[in-house]
């Protein structure tokens, strides 16, 4: 029952994900501090749940896979935080949706049996393919920022991670315990990411310790970390419940629409195409309807 509600979990994750940049905009702090504190707080919050309610997998391959996932996402974060000040957040937001096309095709390579299942309902498969293409087009055109070859070169790994990392996460969730699997995965992956981020900090020293432990940093990162923890868990439950990870990504695209709605409520001007935002919402709704009611 819980996993069958994956569209709801993906939509809730998108809503909470939209709160993260809004909180950070009010009191800007180092992106590295936000990333590391978010994982530290995630691991702290999940520790009692994992200790008392979750049976962690005993298969070593689970932990190896979690480490690979953590490594990919950690590298992605480093590149992302370095690229955004240079190429701009708008360029990144226009290029990342392309990862969904890679995920859509790539997952059928990993799970060819799912491709055969989809082909048994050709009308549904056609509609889903069109919805995914439409959602990617709307997400790309939501912002007006010009995209350059240099910008693509700087963030190609972010696009790669958004696709391959999501597929790896889906594979791991498929081998984790049925109900509490997302908690086990989030805890282990988060623990590895804390270790990787701390190791990178020792080598590169991205920010002074005084700034990292500053009260302002902690006050800003605490609500962000709580939102991020909920986003991770909800997204993992959505990934575990959906038969294809690209479907979750389409619904998760609506986080940009939530941000636009928040800006409108706060009377803030945002340079975005409203029609593209409405298109994203329409694609998310159509995706849920097609998966639920089109069976041919």
What confidence tens digit (pLDDT) does each residue in 250-259 have? 998 888 788 7
Please name the residues in contact with 149: beta carbons below 8 A apart, sequence gap of 6 or more.
none
Task: Tell me the C-alpha distance between 259 and 221, whole Å.
Answer: 19
> Quick check: helix, strand or coil at residue 112?
helix
- Determine the average pLDDT of the residues in 168-190: 87
Q: Residue 148: what pLDDT?
A: 66
Q: Measured between alpha carbons, how far is residue 39 from residues 119, 189, 225 in Å?
A: 40, 9, 7
Q: Residue 270: what pLDDT?
A: 63
pLDDT digits (tens, 9 = 90+) for 23-43: 877 777 888 888 899 999 999
102 neighbors 132 (Cβ within 8 angstroms):
no
Task: Tell me the C-alpha distance between 168 and 103, whole Å.
Answer: 10
pLDDT digits (tens, 9 = 90+) for 88-127: 666 666 778 888 999 999 999 999 999 999 999 999 999 9
Q: Residue 3: what pLDDT?
A: 67
pLDDT above 80 (res 271): no
């Amino acid at each position: 029952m819980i996993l069958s509600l994956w569209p709801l979990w993906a939509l809730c994750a998108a809503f909470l994900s939209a709160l993260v940049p809004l909180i950070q905009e009010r009191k800007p702090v180092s992106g590295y501090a936000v990333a590391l504190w978010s994982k530290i707080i995630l691991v702290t919050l999940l520790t009692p749940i994992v200790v008392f309610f979750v049976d962690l997998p005993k298969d070593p391959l689970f932990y190896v896979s979690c480490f690979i996932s953590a490594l990919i996402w950690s590298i992605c974060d480093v590149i992302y935080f370095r690229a955004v000040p240079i190429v701009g957040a708008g360029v990144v937001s226009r290029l990342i949706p392309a990862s969904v096309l890679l995920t859509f095709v790539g997952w059928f390579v990993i799970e060819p049996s799912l491709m055969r299942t989809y082909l048994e309902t050709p009308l549904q498969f056609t509609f889903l393919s069109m919805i995914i293409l439409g959602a990617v087009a709307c997400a790309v055109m939501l912002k007006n920022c010009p995209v350059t070859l240099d910008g693509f070169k700087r963030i190609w790994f972010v696009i790669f991670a958004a696709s391959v990392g999501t597929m790896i996460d889906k594979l791991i969730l498929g081998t984790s315990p049925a109900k509490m699997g997302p908690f086990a995965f989030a805890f282990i992956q988060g623990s590895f990411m804390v270790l990787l981020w701390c190791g990178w900090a020792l080598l590169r020293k991205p920010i002074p310790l005084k700034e990292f432990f500053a009260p302002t940093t902690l006050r800003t990162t605490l609500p962000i970390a709580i939102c991020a923890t909920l986003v991770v868990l909800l997204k993992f439950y959505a990934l575990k419940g959906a038969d294809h990870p690209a479907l979750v990504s389409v619904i998760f695209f609506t986080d940009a629409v939530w941000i636009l709605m928040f800006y409108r409520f706060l009377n803030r001007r945002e340079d975005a195409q409203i029609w593209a935002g409405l298109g994203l919402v329409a694609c998310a709704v159509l995706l849920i309807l097609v998966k639920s009611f089109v069976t041919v």
